[in-house]
Amino acid sequence: MQSVMMMSKVLEPHLERLSDLASQPVQTDEELLLLYRDRGDREAFETLVRRYERELYHYLRRYLGDAQLAEDVFQLTFLQVYLKSDQFEQGRKFRPWLYAIATNQATDMQRRNRRRRMVSLDRQANEQIQTDEGSLAQLIQGQEQTPFAGAESSEQAEQVRALVDRLPEPLRQVVLLIYFQGLKYREAAQVLDIPVGTVKSRLHTAMAKLSQSLHASCDYLQSGMTTHGSSS
């Protein structure tokens, strides 16, 4: 009994300190960024990175479709946050600002990769084709004509993700931000720098296209199964 009382006295100061820490309010994203910007508090910046590490990486992974590119763009995004922290306006929300930077960085990365792929294809064409018939545009067009990916999987979730990736870029961006990342219309509008009405319009168009494509894919699969059954 005495040993228990002694242990309690030893632990009591530590428990009180933990209680004090737990009772402290969690600092908002905006407060952390301002702490870093105005006071050079590196711990505040590192807390922001940790807070968004998983969420933002998963967004970039879906956006880019490549784990390594997502990691690279994540690093570039927080480099831009570091460089542009003095441009952050007090009263603005950090999350839409962060996603705007991340989306711009991801778009730039896609553009650079497209240029590199085009140069690579052009080099291959010059080496393998002696006439002007095999133009770069024809090579790219030939590569893009792939079987409908949704029919390759029986899992509806995989099918929907494949269909989302095939949407035009403005529609795909809205779907990713609102349905995958849970941003509100207003936040998505800030990220993309477009009116809220445009966000709603693009989302409506995207959902209509997805629904149409999903139904078409299901009909295709069902007709294939029916044909196979009748032939057997």
Predicted local confidence at residue 205, as pLDDT:
92
Does one domain contain both 152 and 141?
Answer: no
Angle between helical axes of 29-39 and 94-128 (0-180°, round to 10): 80
Which of 112, 145, 178 lies at the terminal end of a domain, its last residue? 145
**Which tens digits make up the pLDDT trace of 113-146?**
776 555 444 454 444 434 433 433 343 234 333 3
Does one domain contain both 127 and 208?
Answer: no
Q: Is 2 exposed, middle or buried (0-12, 13-18, 19+ CB in 10 A)?
A: exposed
Query: Which CATH number fits the domain that encloses residue 141?
Result: 1.10.1740.10
Domain residue limits at 183:
148-226
For residue 104, tell me if it sits in a domain: yes
**Number of CB atoms found within 10 A of residue 136's CB:** 15
Contact by Cβ (8 Å): 125, 134:
yes
Rounded distance, CA 175 to CA 165, Å? 10
**Which tens digits make up the pLDDT trace of 33-42?**
999 999 999 9
Averaged pLDDT of the chain: 76
Does one domain contain both 48 and 154?
Answer: no
For residue 6, tell me if it sits in a domain: no
Q: Which of 153, 199, 146 is nearest to 176 (CA)?
A: 199
Which of 82, 112, 145 lies at the terminal end of a domain, its last residue? 145
Q: 166-196: string of b/e by CB count within 10 Å (b at 16+)?
A: ebeeebbbbbbbbeebebebebbbbbbebee
Query: Which CATH number fits the domain that encloses residue 220?
Result: 1.10.10.10
Which of 145, 160, 190 lies at the terminal end of a domain, its last residue? 145
- Specify the number of domains making up the chain: 2
Does one domain contain both 36 and 133?
Answer: yes
Instruction: Compute CA 223 distance to the chain's CA centroid, rounded to the nearest angstrom.
Output: 35
Name the pTM for this structure: 0.63
- In this structure, which amino acid lies at residue 165? D
